[in-house]
Amino acid sequence: MMMSLSASAHSFLLLPPCRPKLGSISFPHSLLRPIHTPPPALQPFLFPRHRRRRRRRGGREGSGHPSAGPTAAVGGIEGPQSVAEAASVLAAIILVHEGGHFLAATLQGIRVSKFAVGFGPVLASFVAGGVEYSLRAFPLGGFVGFPDDDPDSDVPPDDADLLKNRPVLDRILVVSAGVAANVVFAYLIVFAQVLTVGLPVQEPVPGLLVPEVRPGSAAARDGLRPGDVILGINGAPAPSVSDLVDVIKTSAGRNVAMTVAREGTKSVELSVVPDENTDGTGRIGVQLSPNYRLSKVRAKNLAQATVFASREFLGLSATVLDGLKQTFLNFSQSASKVSGPVAIIAVGAEVARSSSDGLFQFAAVINLNLAVINLLPLPALDGGSLALILVEAARGGRKIPREVEQRIMSSGILVVVMLGLFLIVRDTLNLDFIKEML
């Protein structure tokens, strides 16, 4: 978002990846649990380090911490309904952001001339109340236009209701209203989820899950399969992941009796003989993770919904902020993973196919990302406009020369639009069905 010489407020759908520390990930996301992370379907967007490889569920043998759950690749867009749902979410987020600027301006009596979704050539438009509402060709965001420096405007340049002639506080309210609208919208989305589909929660159940068995390993040789649940070992109930790993390490070449629950059967008795490592410890070649049952918790009344939604919202916010922090600390590695509209819709479509609660959290995460990114003090963003206004305030109200402001903001808009178009082309060419055509 920004306030340029042409007096318009822009929002751009160019979002960097969020990467919270993988060691803190649990499955699925819920603030009703002590560990917080978005649902697995969102992981390609939030953790896009290996976009074309599914993350393995569960930690490797010897680790008591599961890694991120299974995710879908960003490479495919399948199903017109899920794509439409994801695109509708993005359109709603843009409308809310620009609606924040629009309302903050009109409620203060500030003149507004344009309200647009997208950039570039106009695809459709209408005029109401002196404001042109339009849908434009490039789906990179949107903008609210003001007649301050519009050469076609018949408003006198000294009109008190022009944005540029308003006090600093009035302009700060207009510029920051888009971010505030996204934050409020994100909270309302989570609140609606709590009241409708509910929040996913993990309930621990007995046993240890075996997400993966390496081909040719001792576990594969002796009959252990992916998806099995180890209920007991050597006649005792299954211990924790770390305890089981210790048993395996100290049992190289010796039988380890396992009671295993397998889909379609009550239980299976197996005898697994760990292979011996070079250091004399045993290994069986599996991944292990705690066993959880997924359930939903729905608020019973508005008071409970407020508590649940507030806790979930704070958890999502912390995840987004931590991810953005890691992104900027490792910017050289993260710059190539910035997501444009096509990639975001691809992930949103996958989320929509996987679960309704995932779509709620997809919308909330995108809102929070857009809010935080727009607060950065960079040209073409809300934070850049706020920075210029604060510089003006620090100068005792002396305005920055309009030519200087124009150069700063125009260069920022050009860079962001060019980046956005590049991302649209790149992400489109990376779609599976486009690759097949090529």
Active site residues: 98
- 117 within 8 A of 142, measured Cβ to Cβ: yes
**Which residues, at least 6 apart from 1, have a Cβ–Cβ distance to it below 8 Å?**
9, 10, 11, 97, 101, 175, 178, 179, 374, 380, 381, 382, 383, 385
**Which residues, at least 6 apart from 380, have a Cβ–Cβ distance to it below 8 Å?**
1, 2, 4, 10, 12, 409, 412, 413, 415, 416
- 286 within 8 A of 224, measured Cβ to Cβ: yes
Smallest Cα–Cα separation from 15: which of 182, 261, 233, 167? 182
Q: Which residues pair with 261 in a beta bridge?
A: 229
DSSP structure string for 60-88: ETT-SS--------TT----HHHHHHHHH
Write out the H or E segment, with its range, that includes residue 117: strand 114-128
Cα distance between residue 371 and residue 373, in whole Å:
6
Per-residue burial over 3-20, b = 16 or more CB atoms within 10 Å of its CB, e = otherwise: bbbbbbbbbbbbbbbbbb
Cα distance between residue 37 and residue 16, in whole Å:
17
Cα distance between residue 327 and residue 74, in whole Å:
19
- 233 within 8 A of 270, measured Cβ to Cβ: no
The conformation of residue 55, written as its DSSP 8-state character, comes to P
Q: In what order do the strands lie in the sheet with 114-128?
A: 8-12, 131-145, 114-128
- 87 within 8 A of 93, measured Cβ to Cβ: no
* 72, 244, 343 from 327: Cα distances, Å: 21, 36, 18
